[in-house]
């Protein structure tokens, strides 16, 4: 059935006029169909151009049997891919496969409007600036017409708009069944719909949030399924570590103090001591942040918590929480919102005590600071056993796929992190002709990464290349500092538009990049993956250096500790494989279709001067290589 579906004369070719049968796509679809039939675990690396989305969707839809009541969960790494699957790919394949089940999209809690918090925020914001008032009225009018409550529907509301946390709920401030708006709650409706659906499209964060909810015994967010498919699966180990760990932040304490103050001003005006105790909590948490004495960054909480000054702040915060608890205890039963605040305070106290018991083995204890806030975190050194236990609990097929899962053809790094050593592993090459479509450059005479003045040197060297490319270039950086230095320098050097990550939302920047047709986009982090610019709108990708994560980055540090405990080499078995996978994600931005052509430039001589450089080079597609930027300029001039 699968082979005929993907054949040149099959159902898919009749639906898609420009359909081309691909051997790698059929091979993946066969492997997925077999794993579903036999309830097995499958890991598939399908390089760009394979058509992996259809290769897992079609077998899943064709395997569906309404009578067996076996549901399908498809999880993605980003909201963008989640929406593309639900709005574009699934409707086409549902029609082509004659799928008879029901389908729904489920996002995390923070994507849905909370009517109760919107009404409260409108009350609190009466005397605030006019722009905020206008935005609130627009959201209120939309809320009266929307059926889903998904705030992505609101026109011209940025993904990172500051108003969003005030009009959505989180696990801490949700009142649950005690909420006056419970019957009209959008998140409750979305979850009910998901529980009844035959196929649910979610994201990785929601999958692990569901596991966490089930562990507490408070229900579930989505149904049990017979098929679990994870796209962008390379993100799973990091996300699993976050959800299998625990954390508490100054924001949570501040929000709690704010909620208690709201109860005082609206319901219990006589409870002045409660308001004073809540204010004392807010001040103590602010003082606690100052005790870190750094503007931002991460570090070892195990070490920091043992300092004499920090011990005093820990003791002070515990005393303030205990006093606030005593005050609230006397007022229980007078306000549903206050009762909920009391429960949260009790949970925070238990968690804060747990985070200060830093002698537990098998965990990494770390803190993170921004300029105004801090968080304390505990992360398990390994999630493999925990995740594998979850897989074994469910009699289901588990499919993991991404364009970047292997390192030099081996899947050990990924499978060991998630305990998937018994899984079948399949590696599928891209159908693109990289030998003709690309040129790979490691420029000569580059200073070592970290050398003072490196940004200026890169600007002088690469400005002629970017001009030859007529813009149409991504400059991907490994740090915000380098990104900002390069953006300033290129704006002084080039007459082309220079776009900078952070100045607008990700989607707005991409739209502007394509519409300009001659822009340079300087970016970091989120632009290394999940970005799809096809055609010659993107003809050059430049990477400032090999993407080794900082050894102080908490998740990486936990894995380094775990490797050391097991007698392994942390650099060779943790840091290096992770850097290779990130590197492969970055270079994957360049060629997105059969007609694309472009130049990849990596400004890091370690690729040719260090032994481990071969590991990166051997993980690349078969691209012609040169060390001459003049060759790159000539290649780019011939593209058009």
Closest CA to 585 of 25, 159, 45: 45
**pLDDT for res 214:** 64
Alpha-carbon gap, residue 328 to 320, rounded angstroms: 12
pLDDT tens digit sequence for 299-340: 889 889 999 999 999 999 999 999 999 999 988 888 888 899
pLDDT higher than 90, residue 461? yes
Q: Are residues 573 and 469 in the same domain?
A: yes
Mean pLDDT, rounded, for 409-421? 92
- DSSP secondary structure letter of residue 89: I
Provide the pLDDT for residue 217. 47
Sign of dihedral through CA atoms 408, 412, 415, 416?
A: negative
pLDDT confidence tier of residue 448, bands split at 50, 70 and 90 = confident
Tell me, yes or no, whether 183 and 195 share the same domain: no
183 and 321 within one domain: no
Residues 527/521, Cβ–Cβ less than 8 Å: yes
Cα(169)–Cα(173) distance, rounded to whole angstroms?
6
Residues 119 and 226 in one domain: no
- Residue 178: the pLDDT is 79
Name the average pLDDT for the chain: 89
What crossing angle do the helices spanning 52-62 and 23-38 adopt, rounded to 10°?
Answer: 40
- The token duo for 579 is 């850097």
Summarised one tens digit per residue, pLDDT across range 361-385 is 788 899 999 888 999 999 888 888 8
Split at pLDDT 50, 70, 90, the class of 295 is: low
pLDDT > 90: percent of the chain: 52
352 and 251 part of one domain? yes
Residues 6+ apart with CB under 8 A from 251: 373, 375
What's the CATH number where 514 sits? 3.40.50.300
How many structural domains compose the chain?
4
Do 589 and 556 belong to one domain?
yes
- The answer to whether 606 touches 546, Cβ cutoff 8 Å, is yes
Name the residue with higher pLDDT: 622 or 133. Answer: 622
Q: What is the dihedral of CA 307, 311, 312, 317, to 10 degrees?
A: 140
Instruction: Kindly state whether residues 253 and 277 are assigned to the same domain.
Output: yes
Q: Is 219 helix (H, G, I), strand (E, B) or coil?
A: coil
Spatial CA neighbour of 367 closest among 309, 308, 289: 289
361 φψ region: left (φ > 0), alpha (ψ -120 to 50), beta (else) = beta
pLDDT tens digits, one per residue of 175-220: 778 788 888 899 889 999 999 999 999 999 999 888 876 655 445 6
Q: Is 380 strand, coil or helix?
A: strand
Please give the pLDDT value at position 328: 92
pLDDT at 54: 93
Cα torsion 272, 274, 278, 283: sign: positive
31/340 Cα distance (integer angstroms): 49
Taking residues 271-285, report their average pLDDT: 93
What pLDDT, on the 0 to 100 scale, is given for residue 60?
Answer: 94
Residue 118 and residue 236 in one domain: no
Q: What integer pLDDT is reported at residue 215 of this predicted model?
A: 57
pLDDT of residue 127: 62
Of 90-94, 96-100, 447-451, minimum mean pLDDT range: 447-451
Residue 249 has pLDDT above 60, yes or no: yes
* CB neighbour class for 520 (10 Å; exposed up to 12, middle 13-18, buried from 19): buried
Task: Name the residue range of residue 366's domain.
Answer: 247-380
Report the b/e string of 359-370 with b at 16+ CB within 10 A.
eeeebbbbbbbe
- From 367, 393, 428, the end of a domain falls on 428
388 and 270 in a common domain: no
- What six digits make up the tokens of 10? 């099959």
Give residue-wise pLDDT tens across range 583-618.
Answer: 999 888 888 888 889 999 999 999 999 999 999 998
Residue with tokens 């610019």: 533
Q: How confident is the model at residue 126 (pLDDT cuts 50, 70, 90)?
A: low
DSSP 8-class letter at 622: S
Do 467 and 606 fall within a single domain?
yes
What separation, in Å, do the N-terminal and C-terminal C-alpha atoms of the chain show? Answer: 42
pLDDT at 128: 65
Q: Of 161, 204, 167, whose CA–CA distance to 187 is shortest?
A: 167
Are 368 and 419 found together in one domain? no
pLDDT > 70 in the chain, percent: 97
In this structure, the answer to whether residues 149 and 206 fall within a common structural domain is no
Q: What is the pLDDT of residues 2-46, one digit of tens each?
A: 888 888 888 888 888 778 888 999 999 999 999 999 999 999 999
């Amino acid at each position: 059935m699968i082979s005929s579906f993907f054949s040149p004369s099959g159902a898919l070719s009749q639906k898609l006029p420009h359909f081309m049968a691909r051997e790698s796509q059929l091979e993946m679809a066969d492997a997925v169909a077999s794993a579903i039939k036999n309830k097995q675990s499958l890991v598939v690396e399908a390089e760009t151009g394979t058509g992996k989305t259809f290769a897992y969707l079609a077998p899943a839809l064709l395997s569906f049997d309404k009578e067996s009541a076996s549901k399908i969960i498809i999880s993605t790494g980003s909201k963008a891919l989640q929406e593309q699957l639900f709005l574009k790919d699934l409707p086409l394949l549902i029609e082509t496969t004659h799928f008879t089940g029901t389908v729904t999209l489920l996002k995390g809690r923070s994507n849905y409007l909370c009517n109760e918090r919107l009404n409260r925020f409108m009350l609190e914001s009466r005397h605030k600036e006019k722009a905020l008032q206008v935005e609130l009225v627009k959201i209120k009018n939309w809320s009266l017409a929307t059926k889903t409550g998904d705030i992505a529907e609101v026109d011209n509301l940025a993904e990172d708009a500051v108003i969003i946390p005030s009009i959505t709920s989180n696990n801490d401030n949700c009142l649950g069944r005690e909420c006056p708006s419970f019957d009209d709650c959008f998140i409750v409706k979305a979850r009910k719909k998901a529980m009844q659906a035959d196929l649910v499209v979610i994201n990785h964060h929601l999958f692990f949030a569901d596991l966490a909810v089930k562990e507490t015994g408070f229900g579930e967010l989505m149904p049990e399924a017979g098929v679990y498919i994870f796209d962008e699966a390379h993100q799973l180990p990091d996300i699993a570590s976050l959800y299998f760990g625990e954390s508490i932040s100054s924001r949570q304490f501040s929000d709690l103090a704010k909620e208690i103050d709201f109860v005082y001003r609206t319901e219990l005006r006589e409870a002045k001591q409660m308001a004073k105790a809540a204010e004392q909590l807010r001040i103590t948490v602010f003082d606690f942040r100052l005790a870190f004495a750094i503007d931002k960054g991460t570090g070892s909480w195990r070490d920091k918590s043992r300092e004499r000054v920090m011990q005093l702040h820990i003791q002070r915060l515990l005393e303030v929480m205990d006093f606030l608890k005593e005050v609230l205890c006397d007022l229980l039963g007078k306000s549903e919102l206050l009762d909920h605040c009391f429960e949260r305070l009790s949970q925070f106290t238990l968690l804060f005590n747990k985070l200060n018991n830093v002698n537990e083995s098998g965990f990494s204890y770390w803190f993170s600071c921004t300029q105004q806030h801090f968080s304390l975190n505990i992360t398990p050194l390994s999630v493999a056993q925990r995740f594998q236990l979850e897989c074994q609990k469910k009699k289901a097929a588990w499919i993991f796929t991404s364009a970047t899962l292997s390192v030099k053809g081996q899947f050990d790094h990924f499978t060991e992190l998630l305990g998937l050593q018994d899984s079948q592993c399949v590696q599928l090459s891209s159908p693109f002709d990289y030998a003709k479509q690309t040129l790979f450059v490691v420029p000569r005479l580059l200073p070592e990464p970290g050398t003072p003045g490196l940004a200026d040197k890169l600007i002088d060297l690469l400005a002629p290349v970017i001009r030859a490319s007529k813009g149409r270039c991504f400059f991907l950086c490994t740090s915000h500092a380098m990104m900002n230095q390069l953006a300033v320098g290129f704006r002084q050097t080039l007459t082309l538009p220079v776009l900078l990550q952070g100045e607008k939302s990700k989607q707005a920047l991409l739209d502007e990049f394509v519409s300009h047709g001659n822009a340079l986009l300087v970016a970091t982090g989120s632009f290394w993956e999940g970005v799809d610019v096809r055609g010659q709108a993107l003809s050059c990708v430049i990477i400032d250096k090999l993407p080794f994560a900082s050894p102080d980055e908490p998740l990486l540090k936990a894995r380094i500790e775990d490797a050391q405990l097991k007698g392994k080499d942390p650099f060779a078995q943790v840091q290096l494989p992770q850097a290779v996978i990130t590197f492969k994600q970055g270079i994957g931005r360049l060629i997105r279709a059969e007609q694309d052509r472009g130049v990849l430039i990596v400004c890091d001589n370690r690729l040719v001067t260090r032994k481990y450089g071969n590991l990166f080079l051997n993980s690349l597609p078969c691209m012609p290589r040169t060390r001459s930027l003049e060759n790159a300029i000539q290649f780019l001039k011939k593209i058009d």
